A and B are shown apart, each in its own frame.
Chain A
């Protein structure tokens, strides 16, 4: 089906004058059925779980190992939310001056993450010796293609094998005994060139194009949808595309603060990074940070208090809350809380509350408080008498 669509699109496309614009054409039509059940297809979890409704096709400058430009299909839901992108690939896989055609559809999530592959009807992948891929091999291929950090990224095509042992088509993927040991987990044995080619298509220029399309229509609503993905990489992508990209709406704020919880500290850190400097001046943001500081575990607290170090002016009630909770903080979080307070103007009442911690049995706490109060040049006589050196 995709092949027919492609021909129609190409015919129209060829009649149009080429423009240098990055997106050259867009045609919308309804997808009758997205995937044919009989085809061989392997997928990763989808970022956006909406039903496909329509497809747009774009001619884009890609400049990868296949072509300088190609058609990229964007599949959207009924409400126009982009769900995924795909490309119909037809390319030779060559080795030792012999080539074998590869026809496959490659899919990307809207975050640029690899989504999956699908073979046209009656097509299957096979190894050098024509042995068709088994289910296990397809699954391994799906996993290999989903792996971002792999030695395939750093080597070139010619490094894949050292052994051109015979001639003819079956040699195309002849790596059986020649694949260096360290590459073995990252390629399909007997199909190393196909694996290499596919991996580079997936993680090459198209990935950026896909991300650019998403960024072009990014909105806080779309970010919220991406943040709902169970996949960490999607969350991180969305969090990295908030500050400077979309409005920090109340709904988005709620979603971001939901992520400043729990034990995935990589996500916690990214969520905090998503809060812009300007937002830090807002009362509700300061309150939400304080709440996280009080309720979450140490590894969240430390990241939250580091964020609060960037607040120039804390609202009074937030300052009071921080002062009142100082005694429950530990280690570096406690130290950093003092350095947050150091930047703020404090009242006499706050100083007295802080000075109460001079009584702490924990000398790390009491000594730190003493040093803090000395540094603050407090005028309160009772405090002065407590902090004077014997």
Chain B
């Protein structure tokens, strides 16, 4: 067939097909039944609520230890403060030349580092600044790897859902949740509250505590379009130097294994609280308007005329809201002395690190060879049954909480809490009744590093 001939045939066919399809396409629109919220009832051994820093690890641990596990996350991805909040800088897994937190959290972090072609800092040399041993992680990869590992572990992930009520009946929890177009009744044996806000603990009727004045939240962003080194800083007020400098570093493009700056820039959001949809909306509004004003201001400085915003996290990251009133409350002196309890199930290492708007950060460092630890009792609300928490809502005084809340510690708690829930489910008891040596063995068998009693 010649070229012209072929084209005309195709054209004819095309016309013919358009002609032939038009009536069917018009008919494709059908009248649907009015939308009804689906109702569902499901059963599981363990329900993890909150798929953030601690919850993701808890869910993977529970699944890998063989428990039927559901993970509810009100957002659309895993990682919480690490990913959605943008704090892709987990720390601290090593102290004084030794690894002190391992297990599933470390596995995720190192998988991301390898996949991204990053380098780890040299952990054998204690650094002069603690954050030099935090690990810069590609947050996008973290989200993907975390989800893959949950699915591999058989975890049933449910995004866009949140509990509306929880009730303990006949040895099981009945949790009513609502999500986009669905309400679900989940019956489970053990709950792990990893919402960061102790929301489920509060819903279940257990006491929670909050400071009158909490640390600010932060909205994380990245800016570019200027060259920090050629800025004339004498012409820019001091208060803007930090924000201009910190944004120079993109965590994915480090050429050396040493961190030279904390790899994120942020604006403070005083009073930020993510406990409810309403309070988190306010925190987001406040953060975004502060940032917008900041961008406008920065652009007025010489050398910053072409400044651009390159990345903005989807929500304000939260430092401090509610903590549970646990069977044991970790104190600042426990932390600074590195107290190891009979039921210590994970290590923690960070300075006391309290952010105060306008005043900077109050820090107290651990003395050489001191590593703090977390007792199981600090993860269990007083008078509770079949209930644990993990992450920043751990039972602790304000000062120790400012150190305990960091990501490696939250991950360690997540893994330990899940191990306790798995055993409690198997034995038909509450987590505080689980034989502590069996729990330690289970944690160890999945890579957790247990505190050493000296």
Q: Is A264 an interface residue when CB atoms closer than 8 A count as contact?
A: yes
Q: Determine, out of A143-151, A162-170, A314-322, the stretch whose residues face the partner at the interface.
A: A143-151
**B432-454: contact bitstring with A at CB < 8 Å (1 yes, 0 no)?**
00000000000011110100000
Q: Is the CB of B444 within 8 A of A297?
A: yes
Residue B104 lies at the interface, judged by CB distance under 8 Å to chain A: yes
Expressed in whole angstroms, the minimum distance between the Cβ of B185 and any Cβ of chain A is 23
Minimum distance in angstroms from A289 CB to a CB of chain B: 18
- A164-189: CB near B (< 8 Å → 1, else 0) gives 00000000000000000000001000
Residues of A within 8 A of B224 (CB): none
Q: Does A9 contact B (CB under 8 A)?
A: no
Question: Which of A37-45, A69-77, A330-338 lines the interface with chain B?
Answer: A330-338
A331–B64 contact, CB under 8 A?
yes
Query: Is B225 in contact with chain A by the CB < 8 A criterion?
Result: no
Q: Cβ of A302 < 8 Å from any Cβ of B?
A: yes
Per-position 1/0 for A194-235, Cβ under 8 A of B: 000000000000000000000000000000000000001100
A236 within 8 A of B: yes
Q: What separation, in Å, do the CA atoms of A86 and B282 have in the docked complex?
A: 64
- With an 8 Å Cβ cutoff, the count of chain B residues facing the other chain is 28
Bound-complex Cα distance A186 to B445 (A): 41
Distance of B382 from chain A, by nearest CB (Å)? 32
- Beyond A149-B128, A330-B64, whether A302 also contacts B98 by CB under 8 A is no
Q: Which residues of B contact A298 (CB under 8 A)?
A: 102-103, 444-447
- 1/0 per residue B71-109: CB within 8 Å of A? 000000000000000000000001001110011100100
Q: Could you tell me the distance between the alpha carbons of A194 and B387 in the complex, rounded to whole angstroms? A: 59
Chain A residues near B123 (CB, 8 Å)? 266
A265 partner residues in chain B, CB cutoff 8 A: 98-99, 102
A151 engages B128 (CB within 8 Å): yes
A186, A236, A362, A364 interface centre (most CB from chain B within 10 Å) = A364
A residues in contact with B445, CB < 8 Å: 298, 330
**Beta-carbon contacts of A25-37 to B below 8 Å, as 1s and 0s?**
0000000000000
- Let me know if A20 is at the binding interface, CB within 8 A: no
* Complex CA distance for A186 and B129, rounded to whole angstroms: 12
**A361: which of B66, B102, B127 is its contact (CB, 8 Å)?**
B66
CB distance from B96 to the nearest CB of A (A): 10
Answer yes or no: B152 CB below 8 A from chain A CBs.
yes
Say which residue of A232, A233, A266, A364 sits within 8 Å of B64 (CB atoms): A364
- Judge if B392 is at the interface, Cβ distance under 8 Å: no
Tell me the bound Cα distance from A151 to B445 in angstroms: 40
Give A264 to B99 CA distance when docked, in angstroms: 7
Contact A266/B99 with A330-B64, A364-B152, A367-B154 known, Cβ cut-off 8 Å: yes
Segment 128-163 of B: residues with Cβ below 8 Å from A? 128, 132, 152-154
Q: How near does chain B come to A49, taking the closest CB pair, in angstroms?
A: 21
Report yes or no: A331 in contact with B446, Cβ–Cβ below 8 A: yes
Within the assembled complex, what's the spacing in Å between the Cα atoms of A364 and B124?
35
* In the complex, chain B residues whose CB is within 8 Å of the CB of A259: none
Chain B residues whose C-beta falls within 8 Å of the C-beta of A365 in the assembled complex: 66
**B126 in contact (CB, < 8 A):** yes
B65 part of interface (Cβ distance < 8 Å)? yes
Q: Can you name the residue of chain B whose Cβ is closest to the Cβ of A151?
A: B128
Q: Are B447 and A266 in contact (CB under 8 A)?
A: no
Residues of B within 8 A of A266 (CB): 94, 97-99, 123-124
Is B125 among interface residues, defined by CB-CB distance under 8 A? yes
The verdict on A363 contacting chain B, using a C-beta distance below 8 Å, is yes
Of residues 226 to 270 in A, which have CB atoms within 8 Å of B's CB atoms?
A: 232-233, 236, 263-266
Partner of A331, one of B68, B99, B447: B447
Q: Is B381 an interface residue (CB 8 A)?
A: no
Residues of chain A with a CB closer than 8 A to B103's CB: 298
Best-buried of B63, B128, B446 by chain A (most CB within 10 Å): B128
In the complex, the chain B residue whose C-beta lies closest to that of A333 is B447
A264 to B102, CA, bound (A): 12
How close is B66's CB to chain A, nearest CB, in angstroms? Answer: 3
Among A148, A149, A335, chain B packs the most CB atoms within 10 A around the CB of: A149
Determine the chain A residues whose CB is within 8 A of the CB of B152 once the complex forms: 335, 364, 368
- From B64, B97, B102, give the contact of A299 (CB < 8 A): B102
Complex contacts, A302 vs chain B, CB 8 Å: 107, 447
CB contact list, A264-281 vs B, under 8 A: 264-266
Given the complex, which residues of A lie within 8 Å of B449, measured CB to CB? 263, 299
Distance in angstroms between the alpha carbons of A243 and B103 in the assembled complex = 29
Q: Which A residues from 98 to 157 make CB contacts under 8 A with B? A: 147-151
Closest residue of chain B to A266 (Cβ to Cβ) is: B124
Pairwise interchain contact A264-B128, C-beta atoms closer than 8 A: no
B76 to chain A, nearest CB (A): 25
A232–B447 touching, CB < 8 Å? no
Assess whether A150 is in contact with B99, with CB atoms less than 8 Å apart.
no
Binary per-residue interface labels of chain A (348-371) against chain B in the complex, 1 for a CB within 8 Å, 0 otherwise: 000000000000111111011000
Q: Is the CB of B98 within 8 A of A363?
A: no
Measured between beta carbons, the chain A residues less than 8 angstroms from B126 are 149
**Whole-angstrom CA separation of A148 from B122 in the bound complex:** 11
Q: Are A362 and B65 in contact (CB under 8 A)?
A: yes
Contacts of B446 in A (CB 8 A): 298, 330-331
Do B63 and A364 have beta carbons less than 8 Å apart?
A: yes
CB pair B444–A264 under 8 Å, yes or no, is: no
Contacts A331-B446, A362-B64 supplied; 16 other A-B pairs, CB < 8 Å: A149-B125, A149-B128, A263-B98, A264-B98, A266-B123, A266-B124, A302-B107, A302-B447, A330-B445, A330-B446, A331-B64, A331-B104, A331-B447, A332-B107, A335-B152, A364-B63
11 A-B pairs (CB sep. < 8 Å)? A148-B125, A233-B125, A265-B99, A298-B102, A298-B445, A299-B102, A330-B445, A331-B107, A331-B446, A332-B107, A364-B64
Closest 8 CB pairs of A and B: A362-B66, A298-B447, A265-B99, A149-B127, A331-B64, A364-B64, A148-B125, A149-B128
